[in-house]
Amino acid sequence: MIENEKVLRGVMTLLILGELLEKPLHGYALQNRVSEKLGTAIPPGTVYVLLGSLQKKGYVDILERKIVNGRKTTVYVITENGKIFLIDHEEPLAIVRGVLDNLLDRIRKLGSLPGMDN
């Protein structure tokens, strides 16, 4: 796997768990929310692969399976282990946020230099 794909997969994993903190959701809703947060469509099935991995690790569980409009729907819920996983990532995420904020400030200043297109 290419390195940036690993990073994106990690970000999507955290986004999925974060969305499930709010309420249980089915895969299609998670796919839409993650795509919206990333500002781009993600390949179909990506969220389902990540959900399978999260379920194997004990971070999500299946709340219910039902048929909606003739389609099988699986609703996922975050587990206590999933919540602990997110808590364990709070500090590293805060560090990354600080680094990115600093970098973005520098880039913005660069764009405001005379002779630079804004």
117 within domain boundaries: no
* 2 has pLDDT over 60: no
* 116 has pLDDT over 80: no
Confidence of residue 55 (pLDDT cuts 50, 70, 90): very high
Question: What average pLDDT score do residues 62-84 get?
Answer: 93
Residue 13 sits at the vertex; the CA angle it makes with 85 and 2, to the nearest 5 degrees, is 120
User: Where in the sequence is the domain holding 67, given as residue range(s)?
Assistant: 3-80
Query: For residue 13, what are the contacts with CB-CB under 8 A and spacing of at least 6?
Result: 50, 53, 54
CB 51 within 8 A of CB 57: no
33 within domain boundaries: yes
* 113 has pLDDT over 80: no
93 within domain boundaries: no
Q: How far apart are CA 103 and CA 44, in angstroms?
A: 32
- DSSP class of residue 42 equals -
Confidence of residue 1 (pLDDT cuts 50, 70, 90): very low
62 within domain boundaries: yes
Average pLDDT, the chain: 89
101 within domain boundaries: no
Residue 12 sits at the vertex; the CA angle it makes with 11 and 17, to the nearest 5 degrees, is 100
Render the burial of 57-95: b for 16+ CB within 10 Å, e for the rest: eebbbeeeeeeeeeeeebbbebbeebeebbeeeeeeeee
pLDDT at 27 (0 to 100): 93
69 within domain boundaries: yes
Domain CATH number, residue 17: 1.10.10.10
> Which residue, 41, 28, 29, 34, is CA-closest to 13?
34
Question: What average pLDDT score do residues 22-51 get?
Answer: 92
Question: What average pLDDT score do residues 54-63 get?
Answer: 97
Domain count, the chain: 1
